[in-house]
Chain A
Amino acid sequence: MKGFPAAARDALRDTQLRRNLGVATSTIRDRRARAVAEVPDWEELRDAGAALKRRVLRNLDGYLLEFEAAVERAGGHVHWARDAAEAGRVVTEIVRGTGAREVVKVKSLTTDEIELNDALGRAGIDVVETDLAELIVQLAGEEPSHILVPAIHKNRVEIRDLFRSNFRLPELSDDPQELAAAARAHLRAKFLSARVAISGANFAIAETGTVSVVESEGNGRFCTTLPETLITVVGIEKLIPAPEDLEVFLQLLPRSSTGERMNPYTTLWTGITPGDGPQDFHVVLLDNGRTNVLADQVGRETLSCIRCSACLNVCPVYTRTGGHAYGSVYPGPIGAILTPQLRGVAEAPTLPYASSLCGACYEVCPVKIDIPRILVHLRARVVEEGAGATSERAAMRALAWTFGGERRYRRAQQLGRAGSRPFTRGGLIHRMPGLGAWTETRDLPPVPKQTFREWWDERRA
């Protein structure tokens, strides 16, 4: 994984990406703000949502067992997958058992995380992405760049060209309405003939075994209703305790993600229902590093995330660099804390630093994840696990030593003054090697003739 600073440098130069991203994120940001301002008990809802998630996480084994029993009582099958590879095997086996060579899929970050499409592809099973953006990204052979609008980096002409060649529609225009209609027609044929569907889940109710998909386009409804076999991959952190708790999350999620009072379609189903929908239902409960996150007492609340993407849309870093720079299906502030914890900080040592710690994310998180605090905590883990640069460690130690005694500190100030003098022109430092990128774009005042404490000492004398 390319480090964040280098990946960000490339992304920042892409003016089309920056413009698209800027427009999209500021629009959603404003919508979210309006939708939240309308709700007089928003803080109370956040408090309840945060507490409910913490409750589940602190008793996760109990809730998982409850959920498994409830799903099985309702006629579903529950499988457990320790990692991505195992999840891929489990899903592949289920699909193979049906004889189907093609499956339809509802967008699911969890399935992206485990690279399920690749696993199925290796087994000769084609996956048809049915979310418009996922379809676009799939046809282009790329990775999604935003949790909610994954194809934000593609313009209409690029999309038109993809559809022209893949759907055999040489006359297709680039009008978004026409493009959407072309996708509708193409996918309808798939929906009506699909025998197997794969989905993720936004929420899974432990007490009843109910699973839900919250969506806008309707492909979720099609995938979870028409095929005979439905496989739902659920990260173990997706549980909520009881059906009543939906009253909190179905308010927090739509307003936080798309800035709507309610998203167009939410489907909730429990096991199988004779005569209605899939008669063969499988849940795959996924770990893939979540138990590592759970084990970190400070980082644990990261698993409260309900994937709304509100943090992305207010993050000054994400809104300029986009998602690819994070090197993970989870970008932005949540990605910066989730990815290093899932994979291990040594695998993603630059992500906890991909933040100025401004705190805007924490303000908007519907389940009150203290992202800045966890970032600082993960930075300490990076250093402790030796994944930081050794030269930095030496410098920080030296600086701490300098700050550890008044005389040494004063001496360092005097050395700094002497050291900056040669570079000072007209009262400012315009270029000074050793200061890194600072003086490439900014001037800097030199250490002045009198530091504050020298002024104070003189005054007292």
Chain B
Amino acid sequence: MAVSHYLPVRVALFVTCLTDTLLPETGIATVRLLERLGHQVTFPREQTCCGQMHLNTGYQGEARELARRFVRVFGDEEVIVAPSASCVGTVREYYPRLAEGDPALARQVDEVAPRVVELSELLAVRLGVEDVGASFPHRVTYHPTCHSLRSLHLGDTPYRLLRAVRGLDLVELPEERECCGFGGTFAVKNADTSEAMLADKVRTILDTRAEVCSAVDNSCLLHIGGALSRLRAGVRTVHLAEILASA
């Protein structure tokens, strides 16, 4: 669905439960950024969670109910944006599977899921904007999350947006495609392996001498940022939305 960037668009924000509850600055930045670009942002108040955690832990019945809720809450919206590749991936890739065997739900999913986009997709792909007027004079390295790489296939979209940010010194992250080890409940059920993976991700981030590590998923950033903070490494994590919203 092509959307012209000359016309203001009405965008419904799917803020995600994690960002809403722990890292609201990402949601706030998303709103400010889109408004700065001249678009109208709405926030369907009934939204809660996409159900990714339940789905990935094996609770498909519960996930299906959350999917049902999601398509009801966002059913009337033309464009739904989330600052999260993993949540968008859950909706676009897994909701159709969850809806198998339920024709009414499947119909709703078929209508709503394609309208759900991740933030950098919305900006660079749908709206055709790379320079969002941002200024962020820091050395930044970018971690492409597994969902952004292999579920949404964002490719170089986030990089193009970052390269257009004034003053931003973008340094490539070595072995960037390696998973950070969060994996939702994986970090809880397999904490040791998760930490081993995190150790390597932190090492490569520190090797870049960047001040900031960014990504499009707060789940990964919470995990990576939590370790960097514990290490007193002097590196912080900042969601892409917040960098792009800086002016």
Direct contact of A and B (CB under 8 A): yes
- Is the interface on chain B under 10, 10 to 19, 20 to 34, or 35 or more residues? 35 or more
* CB-based contact B230/A441 at 8 Å: yes
The answer to whether B54 and A356 touch across the interface, beta carbons within 8 angstroms, is: no
Q: A357-B146, A383-B59 known; A404 and B48 CB under 8 Å?
A: yes
**Does the CB pair A437–B196 fall under 8 Å?**
no
- Tell me whether A404 and B22 are in contact (CB under 8 A): no
Q: Which of A356, A358, A406, A413 contacts B21 (CB 8 A)?
A: A413
Q: Given A400-B65, A452-B19, check contact A353 B24 (CB 8 Å).
A: no
List chain A residues, Cβ under 8 A from B188.
436-438
A369 to chain B minimum Cβ distance, whole angstroms, is 14
Which applies to chain B's interface (DSSP): helix, strand, loop or mixed? helix
Which of A110-118, A179-187, A302-310, A316-324 makes up part of the contact surface?
A316-324
Measured in the bound complex, the distance between the Cα atoms of B188 and A436 in whole Å is 7
- In chain A, what residue has the closest Cβ to B45? A406
A354 to B186, CA, bound (A): 7
Residues of A within 8 A of B60 (CB): 380, 383
A362 vs B150: C-alpha distance in the bound complex, in angstroms? 9
- A residues less than 8 Å from B97 (CB atoms): 373
Residues of chain B in range 14-72 having any CB-CB distance to chain A below 8 Å = 15, 17, 19-24, 27-28, 31, 43, 45-49, 51, 53-60, 62, 65-66, 69
A5 touches B54 (CB 8 A): no
Kindly identify which residue among B58, B192, B194, B198 contacts A382, using a CB–CB cutoff of 8 Å. Answer: B58
From B1-9, B117-125, B131-139, B220-228, give the one contacting chain A: B220-228
Q: Is B177 an interface residue (CB 8 A)?
A: yes
**Does the CB pair A443–B146 fall under 8 Å?**
no
Asked if B114 is an interface residue, CB under 8 A from chain A, the answer is no
Residues on the B chain within 8 Å of A316, using CB: 178-179, 181, 197
Indicate if the CB atoms of B183 and A356 lie closer than 8 Å.
Answer: yes
Asked if A403 is an interface residue, CB under 8 A from chain B, the answer is yes
A173 to B94, CA, bound (A): 56
CB of A86 closer than 8 Å to a CB of B: no
Q: A360-B179, A451-B20 are in contact. Are A353 and B151 (CB under 8 A)?
A: no
If A9-B192, A436-B188, A437-B191 touch, whether A443 touches B229 (CB-CB below 8 Å) is: yes
Q: Check B28–A455 contact: CB distance below 8 A.
A: yes
Q: Is the CB of B186 within 8 A of A356?
A: yes
The answer to whether the Cβ of A442 comes within 8 Å of any Cβ in the partner chain is yes
Chain A 392-410 interface 0/1 with B at a Cβ cutoff of 8 Å (1 = within): 1100110110111110010
Nearest Cβ on chain A to B34's Cβ, whole angstroms:
13
In-complex Cβ contact of B192 among A12, A405, A430 (8 A): A12
Contacts of B193 in A (CB 8 A): 5, 8, 12, 317, 320-321, 354
Chain A residue, CB-CB nearest to B60: A380
Docked pose: A261 CA to B17 CA in angstroms: 48
Closest to B179 in A: A358
- With most chain A CB atoms within 10 A of its CB, the pick from B22, B66, B227 is B22
CA distance A230 to B217 in the complex (A): 56
CA distance in complex: A413, B94 (Å): 26
- From 419 to 461 in chain A, residues with beta carbon under 8 angstroms from any chain B beta carbon are 428, 430, 436-438, 440-445, 447-448, 450-453, 455-456
Residue A277 is within 8 A (CB to CB) of chain B in the complex: no
* Cβ contacts under 8 Å, A455 to chain B: 24, 27-28
A245 within 8 Å of B by Cβ?
Answer: no
B15–A452 CB distance below 8 A: yes
Interface centre among A350, A436, A441, A448 (most CB of B within 10 A): A441
Residues of A within 8 A of B58 (CB): 352, 376, 379-384, 388
Q: A447 vs B22: C-alpha distance in the bound complex, in angstroms?
A: 5
* B49 / chain A contacts, CB cutoff of 8 Å: 403, 409
A441 vs B201: C-alpha distance in the bound complex, in angstroms? 14
Q: Are B186 and A396 in contact (CB under 8 A)?
A: no
Q: Is the CB of A409 within 8 A of B150?
A: no
B190 touches A358 (CB 8 A): no
A447 to B23, CA, bound (A): 8
- Given A358-B150, A444-B222: A406 and B227 within 8 A (CB)? no
A289 interface residue per 8 A CB criterion: no
B98 vs chain A, min Cβ distance (A): 10
Indicate whether B206 reaches chain A with its CB closer than 8 angstroms.
no
Inter-chain CA distance A373–B100, complex, in Å, is 14
| Contact of B56 with A376 in the complex, beta carbons under 8 Å | yes
Residue from A320, A321, A357, A379 having most chain B Cβ neighbours under 10 A = A357
B27 contact set on A, CB distance < 8 A: 452, 455
Evaluate contact between A356 and B57: CB separation under 8 angstroms. Answer: no
Q: In whole angstroms, what is the CA distance A363 to B227 when docked?
A: 28
Indicate if the CB atoms of A453 and B146 lie closer than 8 Å: no
* A contact set with B: CB distance below 8 Å: 4-5, 8-9, 12, 316-317, 320-321, 350, 352-360, 362-363, 373, 376, 379-384, 388, 392-393, 396-397, 399-400, 402-406, 409, 413, 416, 428, 430, 436-438, 440-445, 447-448, 450-453, 455-456
Task: Give 26 CB contacts A-B under 8 Å.
Answer: A5-B189, A5-B191, A8-B190, A316-B178, A316-B181, A320-B197, A321-B193, A354-B193, A356-B179, A356-B183, A356-B184, A356-B186, A360-B146, A373-B97, A376-B58, A404-B65, A406-B46, A428-B229, A430-B230, A441-B198, A442-B198, A450-B24, A451-B24, A455-B28, A456-B31, A456-B43
A4-B190, A436-B191 given. 12 additional CB < 8 A pairs?
A: A317-B197, A320-B197, A350-B189, A352-B58, A380-B59, A396-B62, A400-B62, A441-B227, A442-B230, A452-B19, A452-B20, A452-B28
